[in-house]
Amino acid sequence: MAGDHVDESKLTGLSKYFNGETMRGRANVAKATYASFGLLFLYLYLKPSKK
């Protein structure tokens, strides 16, 4: 279950920051998702329109 104790010293690479085992990892996944949707929205909103 999320939030249970996990030995974080065994997590390496991206799994150290983005994982479903720890609350911090789940929060980072959510933040990255929100950031990607925000960047996509800004790109679509600010790109020049075709004429």
The burial class, CB within 10 Å (0-12 / 13-18 / 19+), for 25 is buried
* Domain regions of the chain by residue span: 8-46
Q: For residue range 24-40, list pLDDT tens digits in order.
A: 889 999 999 999 999 99
What's the pLDDT at 1? 54
SS3 11: coil
| Contact by Cβ (8 Å): 30, 20 | no
Q: In whole angstroms, how far apart are CA 35 and each of 16, 22, 23, 30?
A: 19, 20, 18, 9
- pTM assigned to the model: 0.72
Alpha carbons 19 and 51: distance in angstroms, whole number = 45
